[in-house]
Amino acid sequence: MDAPRRICVVMGDTRPVYGDERAWSSYPSLTFAINERFARQCGWDFRYEQYQIAEMPWGKLEAYSTAAMQHRAPTWVKLMAVDQALELGYEAVLWIDTDCIFYNHEADWSDVLVQLSTHNFVGWVDKPFNDNDLCAGFFAVRNRPEVRNLLKALWLKPSMFHWKQFHEQTELNSFFRRSGPEWLWLIDEPMFSLESESQRLYHIASFDTLLRIPKFTEWLVSRNLGPASAEVLDGMVYRTLDVDLYDLKWSGIEPGALDRIRRILWSLRSFGRRTAKKIYRSIRPLK
Q: Bridge-partner residues for 49, per DSSP?
A: 12, 238
Q: What pLDDT band is residue 287 in, cutting at 50, 70 and 90?
A: very low
pLDDT in the model for residue 165: 65
Residue 103: closest CA among 192, 166, 169: 192
pLDDT in the model for residue 164: 67
Contact 234, 46 (CB under 8 A): no
Residue 23: closest CA among 210, 213, 234, 239: 213
Other beta carbons within 10 Å of 106: 7
pLDDT in the model for residue 150: 98
pLDDT in the model for residue 284: 64
Round the average pLDDT of the chain to a whole number and report it: 93
Q: Span 265-285, mean pLDDT? A: 79
pLDDT in the model for residue 286: 45
Query: Is the pLDDT assigned to residue 277 strictly greater than 90?
Result: no
Contact 138, 97 (CB under 8 A): yes
Q: Where are the domains of the chain?
A: 7-254
Q: Is the peptide bond before 128 cis (omega within 30 degrees of 0)?
A: yes
Q: Span 108-120, mean pLDDT? A: 96
Residue 149: closest CA among 179, 109, 186, 113: 179
Which CATH code for domain 7-254?
3.90.550.10
Q: Bridge-partner residues for 70, per DSSP?
A: 65
- CA dist., res. 66 & res. 256, Å (int): 9
pLDDT in the model for residue 188: 97
For the stretch 33-84, pLDDT in tens is 999 999 999 999 999 999 999 888 888 888 999 999 999 989 999 999 999 9
Query: Is the pLDDT assigned to residue 191 strictly greater than 50?
Result: yes
Query: Is the pLDDT assigned to residue 178 strictly greater than 50?
Result: yes
Q: What percent of the chain is predicted at pLDDT more than 70?
A: 97
Most confident by average pLDDT, 2-11, 94-103, 159-168, 259-268: 94-103
pLDDT in the model for residue 51: 97
